[in-house]
Amino acid sequence: MPAARASIVAALLAGAAVALAVEPAPRAYGERPSVDELAELGRAMFNDPRLSASGTLACASCHDPARAFGPNAHTRSPFMDDDPAHDGTRAIPSLRYAQFTIRFTEHTTDDEETHGVDGGPTGGFTWDGRADTAREQALLPLFDEREMGNRDAASLARRLAAAPYAARFRRAFSAPGRDVLADPKQTVAWMALAFEVFEQGREFAPFDSRYDRWLAGRATLAPAELRGLALFRDPAKGNCDTCHPSQRASSGRAPLFTDAGFIAVAAPRRADLPPAAASATIPVLASRARGAEVDLGLCRSGRPGLSDDPSFCGRFRTPTLRNVALRTSFFHNGSVKSLRDAVAFYATRDTDPARWYSRNADGSVRVYDDLPADVVPFVNREVPFQPRPDGKPRLDEHDIDDLVAFLRTLTDADAEAAVGEITGHAAR
């Protein structure tokens, strides 16, 4: 067992009670499942649709290993199937590089990035940061009625007991003289830990994109890609580096292309949803009809002290831009459907709002149409949203093309061919 991974598992086991209702019980004093046992059982469960109430949906159904553990070309994002009751509201994220996610904190100071200035809420899993660990995050879709739909721990444990790897699970996790599968809470605790260890594997963080190879001096970038990188880092143009750092950390670690902070970019409302409430107060939204509610992100994450403060509403966690060229839906709600349009949104949101937002009954543009009125003052208006002094966008059409060219260099090596499928030409 590699020492690094062994220490990871020891730490995970030691902290297993922090976020779960019950701590996994050791099989015998001082004995722990091995890394390989945890990871392989995590892999088996990740790919098993039998763990869903429908028997048709696995974790891998939405997080395809061939697409950097994100949605594939046949998976709609947000998730939808033939049952309208299952329609999701948030875009499916990639699980790659999620292992570096820090626990949620309301106040962040990072001397390297912010020179000691409070960076505000940071970290946590999911778009609104509600889960602190991969263990917590793994349980959310298992029990979400719109996803895998398990009613409770007992129903999930019964499904696992019928799986072909159930005997391996028993051997790995049962205490002497006990059957772990007879204890639903213990079963779910071990499942969550196995998922987390599986997602600590190298396949979830290869750091082998062409940009990584360029940083290491083992690849070249084309002129358009280099221009895109310059725009990405230019605080007066793309200003992308502010939230998506592209430089190596002081430790030497390759960049994650996210600061894990929360920002309100005012993504457009999805066209397939009914109009949102035009105005609302934060504690009680004006519209609760199915599909008509407003997703307020961070302030609805369940974090103490955030729910009644409109400055936390409309904020969603900054995703990594690694493998972003594999996506066909962007922002927390999946309202934008191409990478080029996602970049163009940043450039023209405030100079050409009619391009992005719906209209009111009188024909006027309903700017920031997926946010209630009392959240609008807290929308981010920094560069590149902020127009130039002459009122024009910070980025022109050529700039947008160059930025897209650069972003494609962030695709991991095993997924480069898939970018060609999406863009209609082979990845360079």
CATH number at residue 270: 1.10.760.10
Query: Domain check: are 309 and 328 in the same one?
Result: yes
Please tell me the pTM assigned to this model: 0.88
Structure tokens at 244: 């998506």
- For residue 111, tell me if it sits in a domain: no
Both 198 and 220 in a single domain? no
Q: Of 204, 226, 255, which residue constitutes the final position of a domain? A: 204
Domain carrying residue 365: 208-428
Question: Quick check: is 98 in a domain?
Answer: no
Q: What is the pLDDT of residues 42-66, one digit of tens each?
A: 999 999 999 999 999 999 999 999 9
Residues 133 and 38 in one domain: yes
Where residue 118 falls among pLDDT bands split at 50, 70, 90? confident
* Of 349, 341, 345, 347, residue with least CA distance to 395: 347
Q: What is the mean pLDDT of residues 308-337?
A: 95
| Same domain for 352 and 275 | yes
* pLDDT tens track for 360-416: 999 999 999 999 888 999 999 999 999 999 999 999 999 999 999 999 999 999 999
- 165 and 231 together in one domain: no
Domain count across the chain = 2
Q: Name the band, by pLDDT with cuts 50, 70 and 90, for residue 8.
A: very low
64 closest CA partner among 55, 56, 72:
72
Q: What's the pLDDT tens digit per position in 304-317?
A: 989 888 999 999 99
Asked if residue 110 is part of any domain, the answer here is no
CA 418 to chain centre: 20
